[in-house]
């Protein structure tokens, strides 16, 4: 029989116990939307577990190219809809249709960007001879942390010792029940945080569209 959902938001991550879900909630930044964060972690865990069970049937390079093409098409569609929005009068039968379409395109853009980022993580992991599926898991967890208002930071105690901080604590709380003995040490988590932050910096410098694709800011 399945466990009854007893986290504070009535939501339990598939492979984790209710107690672990409550620990994750407690480790999130103050004021974070805990329900949304739990759901995002649940999706990340499901992708991780299913990906380890089966390898992709398509070469990563091909999938990356497809996702990039989809993003370009979304951008073009959004530009066309914005032009029509400027021409749409409130006296039209359905004056708010352009705004509704832009909202849907925005959601599709965000999903496609997430999938594209995951393909890039897998590619970098394979090239660096790391476990690509763990890298996918790590990247997803840190994205949830950022979306919840956290920062990619850690600190080293003045008296010495392993890295620590809210991000390190959150990361370990999430992954330890899944990875068990394979869970990275705090030193390993610090390297993962830096690796993820470096990739974000490279993406920003490359000018990849992030949040302005549907608003005409890019």
- How confident is the chain (218 residues) per 10-residue block, as mean pLDDT? 42 70 92 90 84 57 83 94 88 87 93 81 55 81 93 87 94 90 92 86 59 39
Tally of CB atoms within 10 A around 87: 8
In the three-class reduction of DSSP (H, G, I as helix; E, B as strand; rest coil), residue 155 is classed as strand
> Which helix (DSSP H) or strand (DSSP E) does residue 48 occupy?
helix 34-53
Distance CA 123, CA 56 (A): 12
Q: What is the mean pLDDT of the chain?
A: 79
pLDDT at 177: 86
**How many residues belong to the chain?**
218
CB neighbour class for 214 (10 Å; exposed up to 12, middle 13-18, buried from 19): buried
pTM, entire model: 0.59
First-to-last C-alpha distance (Å) of the chain: 51
pLDDT at 145: 94
> Angle between the 132-147 and 186-206 helix axes, to the nearest 10 degrees?
80
Report yes or no: 212 and 110 within 8 Å, Cβ to Cβ.
no
Distance CA 189, CA 33 (A): 24
């Amino acid at each position: 029989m399945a466990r009854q959902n007893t986290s504070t938001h009535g939501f339990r991550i598939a492979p984790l116990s209710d107690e672990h879900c409550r620990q994750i909630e407690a480790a999130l930044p103050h004021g974070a939307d805990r329900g949304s964060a739990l759901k995002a972690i649940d999706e990340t865990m499901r992708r991780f577990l299913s990906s380890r069970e089966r390898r992709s049937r398509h070469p990563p390079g091909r999938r990356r190219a497809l996702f990039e093409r989809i993003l370009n098409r979304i951008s073009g569609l959004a530009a066309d809809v914005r032009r029509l929005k400027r021409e749409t009068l409130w006296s039209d039968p359905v004056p708010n249709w352009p705004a509704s379409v832009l909202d849907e395109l925005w959601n599709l853009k965000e999903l496609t960007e997430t999938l594209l980022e995951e393909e890039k993580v897998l590619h970098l992991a394979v090239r660096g001879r790391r476990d690509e599926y763990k890298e996918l898991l790590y990247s997803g967890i840190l994205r949830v942390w950022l979306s919840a208002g956290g920062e990619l930071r850690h600190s080293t105690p003045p008296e010495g010792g392993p890295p620590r901080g809210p991000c390190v604590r959150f990361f370990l709380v999430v992954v330890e029940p899944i990875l068990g003995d394979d869970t990275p040490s705090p030193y390993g988590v610090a390297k993962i945080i830096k690796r993820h932050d470096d990739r974000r910096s490279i993406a920003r410098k490359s000018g990849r569209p992030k949040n302005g694709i549907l608003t005409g800011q890019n």
